[in-house]
């Protein structure tokens, strides 16, 4: 391979194929015997959810490009058609693997633990009678079967909703016999139903809604006989199309567009394993899909529905051990968060450390008569949020509350529209960021009168202000009252809300302005150091790495002798370990109990490391079409702590670590002198 040509397509892994490799790593968690049984089921469900979004967004986008005749190619030189051709066999294999794990491993093991998912063949007479009553009482009144004939065209099932195609024999009261009907499962009912104690033979017996419907589908067609009944599910394009330059009110435009997501163009059809080919062909034709878009499922067509099962079962021995996130001593020993922050910068590493100090920070600010103003960005927050409650209280107390809400946070648009309405009703000023750029930065600033001065207290983070995900995702949050960081945060808020230029930032690197060029400059500085035989290293942890110029810079760094250690959870387009190009680059992915979400960028800098935390991944969208912040850790001890916790600790992981090979596949280390898990180490060290 020509080591001088860093544009060679062979040096780049395709984004979509890399995403499927990540999915493979998630599926493998469901096979890991060291993981508690119900958590393994949860991983299988997570994989199903990831695959759903992959089709709704990524495959849908490729299909649109192909339909428009786009020949656009990325650094890997694959056209949309090339990518779609490669995706089908990989996904087919993954789907087959998922159902094999479910049917051959998880369900039998759960049954041995007394947790049973009963099919019709398993029901005894008492259970069958109860299930029939459940169907008659809960389902039959709200199901509306549609017989297919010229007066009843094929219905449009909602995106990802459960449906059945039924083949019928006989004629109805009007003499009609179309031979086929569609039954859509009510979306309002649970997909996993507990068998009540009075008819159950063990404590945890369940039945799927799909099994209940299939067993009683004939009763929906009086005087006719249902010969066969097959589950199917269609996945639709969920991209929203709003031309921000052409709309007067983004909120109203999004509200109008959201309903179309449920009925977008079909991109995938899932059918039951036993569905005959002619029936599958008929369904595919209705959705204008080809056989390459049809996936057969040896079980429930939506594995994600099984995610309810672990929550319905009280078996602590089959789940991860509980833990209590810690609160730093600096916070515990202070009368208020303002006092704690004045005593020095505070770094929280979630979920090992509690998110409560941030909520307390906002609540104290809401009640403090000396607090004049609160400014906050919100990307995802959750339906019940202490953060939102505190902001509403502050607004009702008469404080100046400004909230920048990103309405276009994918799949959270409706929740954010409702949030904006709530805040505005309480008297908060709400803005939606900058046209053409998603506001992805995680910032909060409280302005407090202290004596004759107005002082700024700032929180900057790598993750969303979402109380639930702070228990599930790894993220950093930094509290500071540093003057220069406060100045920078104020300027970023001015950019988001006020026309004009807010001035140059002194410490924070910001997308879409300085982040990309600064990262390239920092990598180039390490190259220059290596050429002078000085210590040189680039250490980074992120969710995704696909931006071509950054990858080229890392290749150049490797060629110059710079040590490059990368921890990339998901998509990575860089190929490590290529002789003469990326010999000095190692890429790891950690897949474990918590979703790795921290973005940490460290540079050797001649022995005085520069350490940054960021809301941004190394992707084109983060660098050029989002408002992002990348902020330095200035305190020496905190800087060392970040490097130890997020670089050294993760690089030494040999338990949940996957190493990327140059061919784009991932392997787990085999030789384990001593088992090391970064996440378990953090739980012991910080909780």
Bridge partners (DSSP) listed for residue 401: 374
| Cα–Cα nearest to 266, from 232, 235, 233, 292 | 235
The angle, 0 to 180 degrees and rounded to 10, between the axes of the packed helices 80-100 and 37-53 is 160
Q: How far apart are CA 23 and CA 25, in angstroms?
A: 5
3-state secondary structure 84-128: HHHHHHHHHHHHHHHHHHHHHHHHHHHHHCCEEEECHHHCCHHHH
Local structure of 408: helix, strand or coil: coil
Q: Are 249 and 240 in contact (CB under 8 A)?
A: no
Residue from 440, 459, 466, 516 carrying the catalytic annotation: 440
Helical H segments across 335-410, by residue range: 337-342, 356-367, 386-396
For the chain, state the CA radius of gyration: 27
Local structure of 231: helix, strand or coil: strand
By CB atoms closer than 10 A (0-12, 13-18, 19+), residue 643 is middle
Bridge partners (DSSP) listed for residue 659: 588, 667
Q: How far apart are CA 383 and CA 466, in angstroms?
A: 9
Report whether the peptide linkage leading into residue 645 is cis, meaning its omega lies within 30 degrees of zero.
Answer: no
Local structure of 377: helix, strand or coil: strand
Longest dimension (CA), the chain: 90
Q: Are 182 and 148 in contact (CB under 8 A)?
A: yes
Local structure of 504: helix, strand or coil: coil
By CB atoms closer than 10 A (0-12, 13-18, 19+), residue 524 is middle
What phi, psi does 560 have (nearest 5°)?
-85, -5
| Cα–Cα nearest to 566, from 525, 538, 593 | 538
Dihedral (CA of 111, 117, 118, 120) sign: negative
Annotated active-site residue 440? The verdict is yes
Q: How far apart are CA 53 and CA 59, in angstroms?
A: 9
Q: Are 207 and 191 in contact (CB under 8 A)?
A: no
Report the chain's terminal Cα–Cα distance, integer Å.
Answer: 48
Residue 364: half-sphere exposure toward Cβ, Cα within 13 Å: 17
Residue 578: half-sphere exposure toward Cβ, Cα within 13 Å: 22
Q: How many Cβ atoms sit within 10 Å of the Cβ of residue 290?
A: 11
Q: Which whole-number Å values give the CA distances from 49 to 14, 23, 54, 211, 302, in the listed order?
A: 21, 10, 9, 21, 9
Q: How far apart are CA 331 and CA 348, in angstroms?
A: 11
Q: How far apart are CA 84 and CA 59, in angstroms?
A: 7
Q: How many Cβ atoms sit within 10 Å of the Cβ of residue 650?
A: 26
| Cα–Cα nearest to 234, from 155, 142, 140 | 155
User: Mind telling me the catalytic residues?
Assistant: 440
């Amino acid at each position: 391979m020509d080591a001088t040509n860093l544009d060679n397509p062979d040096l780049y892994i395709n984004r979509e194929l890399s995403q499927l490799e990540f999915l493979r790593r998630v599926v493998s968690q469901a096979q890991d015997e060291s993981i508690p049984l119900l958590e393994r089921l949860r991983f299988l469900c997570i994989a199903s959810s990831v695959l759903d979004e992959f089709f709704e967004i990524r495959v849908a986008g490729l299909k649109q490009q192909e339909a428009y005749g786009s020949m656009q190619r990325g650094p890997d030189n694959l056209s949309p058609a090339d990518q779609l051709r490669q995706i089908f066999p990989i996904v087919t294999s993954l789907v087959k693997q998922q159902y094999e794990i479910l049917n051959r491993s998880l369900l039998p093991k759960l049954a041995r633990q007394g947790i049973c998912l009963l099919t019709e063949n398993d029901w005894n007479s008492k259970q069958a009678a109860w299930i029939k009553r459940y169907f008659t009482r809960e389902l039959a009144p709200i199901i509306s079967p549609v017989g297919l004939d010229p007066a009843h065209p094929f219905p449009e099932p909602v995106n990802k909703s459960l449906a059945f195609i039924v083949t019928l024999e006989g004629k109805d009261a009007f003499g009609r016999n179309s031979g086929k009907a569609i039954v859509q499962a009510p979306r309002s009912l649970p997909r996993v139903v507990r068998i009540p104690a009075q008819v159950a033979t063990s404590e945890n017996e369940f039945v799927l809604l799909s099994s209940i419907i299939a067993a009683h589908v004939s009763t929906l067609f009086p005087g006719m006989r249902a010969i066969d009944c097959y589950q199917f599910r269609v996945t639709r394009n969920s991209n929203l199309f709003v031309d921000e330059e052409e709309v007067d009110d983004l909120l109203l435009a999004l509200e109008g567009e959201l309903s179309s997501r449920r009925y977008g163009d079909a991109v995938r059809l899932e059918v039951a394993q036993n569905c005959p080919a002619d029936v599958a062909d008929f369904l595919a034709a209705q959705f204008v899909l080809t056989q390459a878009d049809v996936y057969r499922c040896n079980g429930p067509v939506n594995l994600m529905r099984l995610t309810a099962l672990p929550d319905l079962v009280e078996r602590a021995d089959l789940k991860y051990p509980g833990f209590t996130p810690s609160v730093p001593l600096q916070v515990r020993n202070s009368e208020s968060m303002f006092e704690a922050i004045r005593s020095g910068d505070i770094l929280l590493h979630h979920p090992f450390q509690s998110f409560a100090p941030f909520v307390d920070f906002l609540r104290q600010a809401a009640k403090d008569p000396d607090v004049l103003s609160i400014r906050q960005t919100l990307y995802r927050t959750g339906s019940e949020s202490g953060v939102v409650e505190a902001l509403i209280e502050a607004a009702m107390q008469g404080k100046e509350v400004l909230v920048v809400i990103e309405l276009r946070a994918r799949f959270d648009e409706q929740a954010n529209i409702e949030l904006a309405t709530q805040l505005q009703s309480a008297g908060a000023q709400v803005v939606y960021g900058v046209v053409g750029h998603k506001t992805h930065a995680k910032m909060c600033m409280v302005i407090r009168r202290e004596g004759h001065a107005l002082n700024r207290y700032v929180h900057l983070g790598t993750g969303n202000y979402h109380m639930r995900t702070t228990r599930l995702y790894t993220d950093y949050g930094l509290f500071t009252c540093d003057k220069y960081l406060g100045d920078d945060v104020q300027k970023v808020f001015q950019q988001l809300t006020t026309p004009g230029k807010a001035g140059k930032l002194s410490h924070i690197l910001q997308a879409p302005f300085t982040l990309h060029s600064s990262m390239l400059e920092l990598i180039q500085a390490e190259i220059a150091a290596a050429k002078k035989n000085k210590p040189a290293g680039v250490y980074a942890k992120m969710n995704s790495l696909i931006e071509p110029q950054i990858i080229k810079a890392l290749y150049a760094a490797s060629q110059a002798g710079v040590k490059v250690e990368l921890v990339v959870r998901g998509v990575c387009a860089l190929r490590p370990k290529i002789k003469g190009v990326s010999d000095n680059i190692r890429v790891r992915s950690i897949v474990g109990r918590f979703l790795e979400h921290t973005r940490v960028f460290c540079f050797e800098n001649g022995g005085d490391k520069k350490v940054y935390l960021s809301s941004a991944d190394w992707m084109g969208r983060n660098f050029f079409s989002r408002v992002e912040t990348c902020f330095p850790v200035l305190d020496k001890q905190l800087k060392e702590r970040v490097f130890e916790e997020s670089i050294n600790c993760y690089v030494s992981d040999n338990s949940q670590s996957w190493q990327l090979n140059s061919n784009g596949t991932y392997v787990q280390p085999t030789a384990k002198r001593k088992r090391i898990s970064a996440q378990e180490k953090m739980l012991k060290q910080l909780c």
